[in-house]
Amino acid sequence: MTSAGRLAGVDGCPSGWIVVAIAAEGPLDPTVAIATSFKAVMDEDTAIIAVDMPIGLPDSIGPTGRGPEQRVRPLLGGRQSSVFAVPSRAAVFTEDYRAACDVAAATSTPPRMVAKQCYHLFPKMREIDALMTPAAESRIYEVHPELAFWRLNDDHALALPKKVKGRPDPAGLDERRAILVRHGFDAGFLARAPRGAGADDLLDAAANALIARRIASGLAEPFPREPQRDGRGLRMAIWA
């Protein structure tokens, strides 16, 4: 999928994980592939993996929520609804939706339910959580595509959504493609997603790859600036 010295931007997709790999410096030389598991992503010889999935799950959630989401939402303007509220680890590891809502309410102050969109991410969140260790943090970083595009757009929130009522929004996708092209991606590479992934998945993974390059070069920063750690010692921060 990738070779030594490459950087990977990763996003969940219907077939598993879409991986856009780029060079650490110079021309991007991008490639795209689908991995059926996050372990397969980790097994590739990539220097940095920037993945759109929460890493680090609190035992309980306070009034302001998990730190990273609290910090990045105000930056995203109309796109802040794309940053889902992450519940406690116990809720994430509860498979039934209604039961997960009960656990989330019991482990949050004030009691909060689980958004359906977040619940659908639980299997991938559990997959990463089972593999992550504090030692892996030198290589694997949590990112978020809308924050990535905010950063790539000179720290300005995007004007258009990428989806409207669950369907891709052509104007929003074009806005994101234009930003990626400005940062070195070829329009042809971005024109068609591989089978098993959507057009938005490809664009998100490409944006994540550019944040991986910022991380590798020391330019990225964590949100919040001083991340907290969960009960397993995992860092809780979104990077951009």
Q: What is the DSSP string of the chain?
A: ---TTEEEEEEEETTEEEEEEEESSSS---EEEEESSHHHHHHS-EEEEEEES-----SSB-TT-SHHHHHHGGGSGGGGGGSPPP--HHHHT--SHHHHHHHHHHTBSS-----HHHHTTHHHHHHHHHH--GGGGGTEEE--HHHHHHHHTTS---SS-SEETTEE-HHHHHHHHHHHHHTT--HHHHS-PPTTS-HHHHHHHHHHHHHHHHHHHT---EEEEEEEE-TT--EEEEE-
Q: Is residue 137 part of a domain?
A: yes
The whole-number pLDDT of residue 225 equals 96
Over its length of 240 residues, how does the chain's per-residue pLDDT go in tens digits?
444 579 999 999 999 999 999 999 999 999 999 999 999 999 999 999 999 999 999 999 999 889 999 999 999 999 998 999 999 999 999 999 999 999 999 999 999 999 999 999 999 999 999 999 999 999 999 999 999 999 999 999 999 999 888 888 999 999 999 999 999 999 999 999 999 999 999 999 999 999 999 999 999 999 999 999 999 999 999 999
Q: Is residue 12 part of a domain?
A: yes
Q: Is residue 228 part of a domain?
A: yes
Q: How many independent structural domains does the chain possess?
A: 1
| Domain limits for position 187 | 1-52+68-84+124-240
The whole-number pLDDT of residue 13 equals 96
Q: Is residue 165 part of a domain?
A: yes
Q: Is residue 90 part of a domain?
A: no
Q: Is residue 94 part of a domain?
A: no
The whole-number pLDDT of residue 1 equals 42
The whole-number pLDDT of residue 2 equals 43
The whole-number pLDDT of residue 110 equals 96
The whole-number pLDDT of residue 65 equals 87
The whole-number pLDDT of residue 219 equals 97
What's the CATH number where 164 sits?
A: 3.30.420
The whole-number pLDDT of residue 40 equals 97
Q: Is residue 97 part of a domain?
A: no
Q: Is residue 105 part of a domain?
A: no
